Structure 1
Amino acid sequence: MSSDAKLSASKQQRFRIPRVPFWAQILAGLVLGVLLGWLARSADVGWLGTALTKTGETFVQLLKLAVAPLVFFAIVISITNLRKVSNAARLAGRTLLWFMVTSLIAVAIGLTIGLLTNPGAGTGLTTRDGAEPESAGSWLDFLTGIVPTDVVTPFTELNVLQIVFMAAVVGLAALKLGPKAEPLLELSESVLSLLQKALWWVIRLAPLGSLGLIGTAIKDYGWGLIGQYATFTADVYIGCALVVFGVYPLLLATVARVNPVQFFRGAWPALQLAFVSRSSVGTMPLTQKVTERLGVPKEYTSFAVPFGATTKMDGCASIYPALAAIFVAQIFGVDLGVGDYLLIAFVSVIGSAATAGLTGATVMLTLTLSTLGLPLAGVGLLLAIDPILDMMRTATNVAGQALVPVLVAAREKILDLDAFHSAKSFSIEDLDRDGTGPAGAEGKTGAEDDAEDHAEDDARAPVPA
């Protein structure tokens, strides 16, 4: 290489604009959103408030746009991929068992915190502040609503539970057909890859979406709202933190016998996106990617993560309904007994699929309140604070959705420990460089991805004179 070429390469390296980490972009979006929301509310800047609202709504709508087909094809492929895994029935059973165990632990923590802190006492809220929701969940609707009346409505109305049902039927039928179903499965895999790539472009907008969502919450409700719901808000965040940073590390250390810090290091990208997007399904491709990087076999991950994204909700379906039920009962002056608390635990474990991994947990909350006979007007008391609560709830959901596959894989001796120990936090630019997107289309392990990253870093280094 000539001296001029070496000098040019050195200058390009020297003056290259530093890459801003994704977490820093999201943090900047949150801070700027708070400031702009406060400005729009205090100075009554109408156009700014509208801009914040539209920005947040557009980001959420883009996430939801891909939800229906993404869930359908992900579930179909996840079920058919089980044919490539030995002891598939055992893995599926163990996965479901750990979903239930961790949900029970989470709801127990929620109930304990609620009983200790009395979140509904001293809020200044009254029964007149509540309003019944436009729609409510019930056990009859939950049980009868699983089967759709046609194949189009679940997609147009975004009924994720019915979409999961249809996808499960198609996946099981494809398994029975065997080779005859291969063309359909190849098409499904191609469509799924396209959807995941398109969703990844939406994920790149997460910092902007976080700006709009948090800005809208501050603009609409201000800081006074947080004061009224201070105890309840703190309870939700503390409960979720205890589960994520207390229960999960304990399970990783004792059951999987792996380093919890390494787990969070690898899963961090999915957790931060979940916190901002407030959508488990929207985060699903990234959750699947980080789980694969943590050494869980791709064939098992492609089943466990989509399954978990629609049914595994420790934040939205366990901690939150438990605390919300106590909160509403105290506002309306209803005494709950031991039987009611057991019923809350039962609803949390069995009815969690009703949340469907979408933004918000209103369906699960109305299902819990109606089962306990509490006034549904209590839902209206919580809708105002919901966006702030939903961030932590969704991050907890996604942490559990990545945790369980690691636990099961470790117990079944199929966890790649070398990949787990070499897994590192990565940025969206890393995924764009290797062309795999969040779902890891090429199926690389964490160690292989790290090796490629180091090789590319070496290639970009200044050429020695």
Structure 2
Amino acid sequence: MNNSSRLPRWATGFGAQVIAGLIIGLILGFIAANLDASQPDADNGSWLTQLLGGVGSAYVQLLKVMVPPLIFAAVVTSVANLRKVANAASLAISTLVWFAITAFFSVIVGILVALVMRPGVGTTVDASTAADPSRVGSWTAFLQQLVPANFLGLNANLGSDSVSLSFGALQLLVISLALGIAAVKAGEAADPFLRFTESFLKVIQVVLWWIIRLAPVGTAALIGTAVATYGWDALSSLGKFVLAMYIGLALVILVVYPGVLAFNRIPVLGFYKRIWPVTSLGFVTRSSMGVMPVTQRFTERAMGVPREYASFAIPLGATTKMDGCASVYPAIAAIFIAQFYGIDLSLTQYLLIIFVSVIGSAATAGTTGATVMLTLTLSTLGLPLAGVGLLLAVEPIIDMGRTAVNVTGQALAATVVAKRAGLQDQQVWDDAEQGVAELVDAR
């Protein structure tokens, strides 16, 4: 076969494979939904639904298992390497500033969409579904979660017949930062430790790329599961709220972020071309933390953000930078609940929504979750917490869009700060113009 008969790279690259996975997943999801409808007595759905759910869950678990070692190795190494980067403290401050800027404009979009669409007016949602949430956001949670419970940041939950372990990402971030700073202060004595950590990071990156290459398969399974099992019937009563949410999220992706990119002279289409695999993976996995290794990989090797900075900014963003969950969602949801209960919000309360969205994502980082963020907003405004239960039926549907915005915003903030600080590798950016698959490969 000669070169002229081959498909162009854009049609065979990693991004195209992810798109193919989305399309195949949609088809399989509709088939699984029809099979489920024909087997109403099946406890866990049809064989296809169970297969899609099992494969999708396994892929998300593979991504999540890489998060703790990646955070540890990347952050320790980045702290040591930040000595080579001028104005490291200024970079950290700039990162937080741009987190706040994009959060501010995102929550403004959420408020405007809710005021125009009035999703809580005329809704047919059953008031009996109102229920107090199991977890409530707290302004002290952030400070509490900064203090590690143990060296590994592990949490144990005792069930009726098992014990499940999880890790606190924010605690692990603090531990890694402390170890990195201590290693720098220790001088030559810490050189073997830093060489081991850097070598360990390279090994983790190789394994990570193996997992990333499975993304088209994971995407097909996850989107198929979403179509088959996420309760689309709930749209009949909460369709207006879901529509408002997706309009708000779309405006952030298509207006706010392009405005930030254009202001900083970063090509808008070029950014979205490079970040597309991350955005789509966030959409189907519904896990900013699970996608964090992929976000960091693409930020470094497609955006040209230096590893020394990306290793700090992306883990921080994955725990505290959530424009979808912490800005757009609590704004629209809080106004929906106020409208549902017939409560008129004052100007002060609207200003409080903005304040909580810009500052509060860090305050709920330790307990995570958009629902927890919403409870923090409602309690600050004095609105009934039971209103959270009204929205739980469509939680999986809107969570997909929220997470896509989250991960895109995390990569955007890191790219903007690197560009403004003169750290962005233009050669890496230019090379990615032909596709990102080869550039993010382990090397």
Same fold (TM over 0.5): yes
Aligned counterpart in structure 2 of residue 207 of structure 1, from 216, 221, 224: 216
What fraction of aligned residue pairs are identical, expressed as a percent?
Answer: 48
Opposite residue 25 of structure 1, the aligned amino acid is A
Opposite residue 386 of structure 1, the aligned amino acid is E
Structure 2 residue matching 1:86: 3-state secondary structure: coil
**Contact 1:32 1:211 (8 Å CA) reproduced:** no
After the TM superposition, which parts of structure 1 deviate over 6 Å for at least 4 consecutive aligned residues?
none
Matched, 1:372 2:381: yes
Q: Which residue of 2 aligns with 1:462?
A: none
Matched, 1:167 2:176: yes
Q: Which residue of 2 aligns with 1:258?
A: 266
Distance 1:415 1:14 in 2: 33
Distance 2:371 2:205 in 1: 27
* Structure 1: runs of 5+ lacking an equivalent: 1-8, 437-465
Distance 2:26 2:348 in 1: 44
Q: Deviations over 1:401-440 (max 9, x none)?
A: 2222322233223333444344326354x358x533xxxx
Distance 1:381 1:208 in 2: 34
Distance 1:267 1:340 in 2: 35
Q: Which residue of 1 aligns with 2:159?
A: none
Aligned length: 422
Greater mean deviation of Cα atoms: 262-271 or 353-362? 353-362
Q: Deviations over 1:52-111 (max 9, x none)?
A: 333333333333323333333333333333211011111221111111111111111111
Distance 1:194 1:333 in 2: 57
Per-residue deviation at 1:35? 0.9
Aligned counterpart in structure 1 of residue 306 of structure 2, from 277, 287, 297: 297
Aligned counterpart in structure 1 of residue 351 of structure 2, from 342, 346, 361: 342
**Contact 2:25 2:220 (8 Å CA) reproduced:** yes
Distance 2:434 2:24 in 1: 20
Matched, 1:122 2:141: no
Opposite residue 411 of structure 2, the aligned amino acid is A
**Contact 2:120 2:241 (8 Å CA) reproduced:** yes
Aligned counterpart in structure 2 of residue 27 of structure 1, from 16, 22, 37: 22
**Contact 2:125 2:238 (8 Å CA) reproduced:** no
Matched, 1:281 2:289: yes
Once the two structures are superposed, the pairs formed by residues 141-180 of structure 1 within 5 Å of their partners are 141-152=141-152, 154=154, 156-180=165-189
Q: State the Cα RMSD in Å.
A: 3.0
* Residues 326, 259 of structure 1: alpha-carbon distance in 2 compared, 3 angstrom cutoff: same
TM-score, with length taken from structure 2: 0.85
Greater mean deviation of Cα atoms: 390-399 or 145-154? 145-154
Structure 2 residue matching 1:157: 3-state secondary structure: strand
Structure 1 residue matching 2:86: 3-state secondary structure: coil
Per-residue deviation at 1:379? 2.9
**Contact 1:359 1:390 (8 Å CA) reproduced:** no
Per-residue deviation at 1:147? 1.0
Per-residue deviation at 1:132? 3.0
Opposite residue 26 of structure 2, the aligned amino acid is V
Q: Computing the radius of gyration over CA atoms, which structure comes out larger, 1 or 2?
A: 1
Q: Deviations over 1:252-282 (max 9, x none)?
A: 222x223211222222222222222222233
**Contact 2:274 2:436 (8 Å CA) reproduced:** no
Greater mean deviation of Cα atoms: 257-266 or 91-100? 257-266
Matched, 1:243 2:252: yes
Opposite residue 23 of structure 2, the aligned amino acid is A
Per-residue deviation at 1:354? 5.3
Q: Which residue of 2 aligns with 1:270?
A: 278
Greater mean deviation of Cα atoms: 392-401 or 277-286? 277-286
* Structure 2: runs of 5+ lacking an equivalent: 156-164
**Contact 1:33 1:210 (8 Å CA) reproduced:** no
Distance 2:130 2:206 in 1: 42
Opposite residue 274 of structure 1, the aligned amino acid is G
Once the two structures are superposed, the pairs formed by residues 42-81 of structure 1 within 5 Å of their partners are 42-44=37-39, 46-48=45-47, 49-81=49-81
